[in-house]
Structures are given as C-alpha cells and as structure tokens.
Amino acid sequence: MKYVDEFRDPRAVAELVEAIRRINAPRARLMEVCGTHTMSIARYGLRELIEKQADLIAGPGCPVCVTAQGDIDWFLEAARLPGVIATTFGDMMRVPGSFSSLERARAQGAGVRVVYSPADAVELARRHPDRQVVFFGVGFETTAPAVAMSVLEARGEGVTNYSVFSAHKLIPPALKALVAAPDLAVDGFICPGHVSVIIGSRPYEFVAREHGVPCVIAGFEPVDVLQSVRMLLAQVAAGRSEVEIEYGRAVTPEGNPRARAIVGEVFEVVDARWRGLGDVPDSGLAFNAAHADMDARRRFDVEPPPAVEPAGCRCGEVLRGVIQPEECGLFGRRCTPREPVGACMVSSEGACAARYRYRRTESAK
C-alpha cells in the first residue's frame, strides 16, 4: 500500500498545514460532500489541524444518511414478506427506520442478508430460484453502475427472481439545492473523489460559474484533503471560483462515460427525497421503462405506514451543514453508535458517528 503511505506522510502533512496557514484569506467555511472525506477528516483530526484557517463542514455525502425514512420503511416491509431475501450493504443494517431496523427484522426472522456487492445478490437469486431476492440500491453515482450491471447480468442470464429497490442519489443536484438554500453559507466545496471518477469534473461547473463557489475534487487521504483545502483557500484568496481536480490520479474532466452509459441503460433521472434536503428535483435514479419489470417498487405490493422522524433528531440540519453534530441536543446523550436515534450516528461515514467515534470530548462521552 505504498500509494496510501505516501498520502499519509507526516512531513507532507506538516508542509501542507504550514502552506495553508500562510495563505492570506479570511477563515473559510468548506463543505465536504462525501462520507469518506468525513471519516478521513475525523480519523486524522484534520479539522483541528487547520481550524484557524477553515471550518470543515460535513454535507449530504453519506449515502446511508441521506436515504429517506420512507425508503427504509419500504424496504423493511418488503424484507418481512414471505419468500423474500432482502439484500443490503452492511452499513444499512442498523439504521433505524420509523419502527424497526434491518438488523432487528433479521433477528425476528425476516430474510435479510448482508452482501458486499449487488453481484452477490444476483448470485443469491441464482441459487434460490424459489425465492425473491431484492437489493437495496443505496448510494451515489459510484454505486449505481454496479447496480445497473447487476440488473443487466440478471436479465442476460434469465434470473427473473432478482429485483432492485432503487434509492440512488445524484450529487450535483444536491449541490444545486444546497447553494440555493438560504440557511447555508459555504465558501467552497470539497467534491467527492469516487463520484467524480464516474461523472468527471464538468457537472460541478455550474456551482463555480453560476454561484461563485469554488470546487476542488479531492482524494481521501490526509494529504489529499489538506491539498484540496489549500487549493480552495487559494481560490478564495484570489477571488476565483473554478472547478479544480486534486485527485488527478483517478479523476478526469470527462469521468467514465462507459459506466454512465450502463447506468443510463437501466435507470432514468427522477426527483428524489433526501433526508435533510427534502424533495430535490432530478436527484434520483429510477428504473426506465425497458427494465421496469426488475423494479422492486412495482414487483412488491408494499405500503409502509407514514414515516415518523424521531423526535429531537437534527440529522437533517447536520446533513445540510447548518449545524455541527455537537449542536444537536441528542448527540452523545440519547444518540450514540450504541443506541442511534438518527441515521448520521449509524453509518461509519455519518457526520455524527465520525465525530463521536474519533473526536468526542469528555463532556459528551
């Protein structure tokens, strides 16, 4: 893992911190829109290293966290249907829906299985032709291609007992909603590396051009994150607003058109509901007409009761970057990774979980 060590090199970090301190710009509010960034920032204490120069704020970048309560409730109901094997990525298991969690539903006998990729779910469907295998399609532009592939693969092999509940989300429309929101003042976006491998840098241009907010696409190691902060602060100091790529070893302006084509073959862009952001136009992926028969929403007659948001939970504001996790009254008291009230405390990439796990102070312990 040489490439990782290089980007965690203490000397390189110290030099970058020094360079950031020398930039002549007012303290900036910078939002990262990727859970992996959130986790890396918390793990390495990067906020603390540069707190005089920048306030790093977590945005809606954790796929588990932004999944709407109603979508979790739907999937839980489907998982309880007889003959169904409900498959999901692991970090969805403990997220509380309105009335239960997948982990608890499994303990009560629901056919819930953790898989590492949607291809594993197709394999399960192949091995259990008498069962209905449904995959919880959660994630951003990064995960959507693999899910679309799984649909094409299942169709190609005649695996008809496989379906997907698509709750996929798209990042640029969320940024659009964020920059338009009246309660958020952001001086720059640390844009997600993995997502940008797929979509490239162009979809962020409108943020820089129309809204005057600089963007830097960043990798996930400490050196990446600090380098992107340095680039953002340099833009702020110079009064520029452009889209720049720090994560050049993986991201190109064009992205990966092949992956996007696969997504486009199966899904179409629709309005979607986000935890925290509410209904965001053109921000989700749903099955297109050609593949509608693989759409779990059509295949199962599931009607969960109206979603209930837990009282006092401020995940929505945390996800919009309006408050820091500690400002929520439940943080570290009623809401901990052990007994999460809100989604942001569950996933390892959630802003609250990352803050609690790595950086909580004595008072919150």
Partner 1 sequence: MSEDLHAPSGDIYAPFGDIILLSHGAGGQLMAELIDRLFVAGFDNPVLRRREDSGVIEIAGSRLALTTDSFVVTPVVFPGGDIGKLAACGTVNDLAAAGAQPAAMAASFILEEGLEQALLRRVVESLRAAADEAGVAVVTGDTKVVPKGAADTLFITTAGVGLVPPNVEISASAARPGDAVLINGGIGEHGAAIMCAREGIDLQLDIGSDCAPLNRLVGALVEAGCDLHCMRDPTRGGVSAALNEIAEQSGVCIELDEESLPVAPAVQTACELLGLDPLQVANEGKMLVILPQQRAERALAAMRGAPYGAASTVIGRVLDGPAGRVQLRTAIGPTRIIDRPVGEPMPRIC
C-alpha distances in angstroms, 118 versus 88, 214, 276?
8, 35, 27
What are the CB-based long-range contacts (under 8 Å, 24+) for 112-116? 112/79, 112/85, 112/86, 112/87, 112/88, 113/85, 113/86, 113/87, 113/88, 114/87, 114/88, 114/89, 114/90, 115/87, 115/88, 115/89, 116/89
What mask, x for binding partner 1 by CB under 8 A, covers residues 99 to 128?
xxx-xx-xxx-----xxxx--x--x-----
**136-195 positions binding partner 1, by CB under 8 A:** 138-140, 142-143, 194
Q: For partner 1, what does the binding mask look like between residues 327 and 346, x meaning CB under 8 A? A: -------x--xxxxx-----
Using the minimum distance from each CB to partner 1, give the nearer residue, 121 or 186: 121
Question: In this structure, what token pair is assigned to residue 174?
Answer: 């969320």
Interaction between residue 74 and partner 1 (CB under 8 A):
no
Beta carbon of residue 256, minimum distance to partner 1 (angstroms, whole number)? 14
What backbone phi and psi angles, to 5 degrees, belong to 108? Answer: -90, 5
Rounded Cα distance, 296 and 294, in Å = 6
Site string for partner 1, 210-239 (x = CB under 8 A): ------------x-----------------
User: Measured from the CB atom, is 187 or 349 closer to partner 1?
Assistant: 349
CB of 203 to partner 1, least distance (A): 18
Q: Is 247 in the site for partner 1 (CB under 8 A)?
A: no
Contact call for residue 63 and partner 1 (CB under 8 A):
yes
Per the listing, tokens 């409108």 go with: 206
Our CB check for partner 1 shows the closer of 186 and 262 to be 262
DSSP element (H, E) containing 84: strand 84-88
* Pick from 192, 94, 76: nearest CA to 143: 192
How big is the site for partner 1, counted in residues (CB under 8 A)?
66
CB neighbours (10 Å) of residue 210? 11
Alpha carbon distances (Å) from 5 to 246, 305, 334? 17, 49, 38
Q: Least distance (Å) from partner 1 to the CB of residue 330?
A: 9
Tell me the window of 72-80, 98-106, 171-179, 201-209 that interacts with partner 1 (CB under 8 A): 98-106
Comparing CB distances to partner 1, the nearer of 130 and 362 is 362
Q: How many of the other CB atoms lie within 10 Å of CB of 219?
A: 25
Residues written for the chain = 365
Footprint of partner 1 (CB under 8 A): 1, 4, 8, 10, 13-14, 35-36, 42-46, 48-49, 63-64, 89-94, 96, 98-101, 103-104, 106-108, 114-117, 120, 123, 138-140, 142-143, 194, 222, 308-311, 334, 337-341, 347-349, 356-360, 362, 365
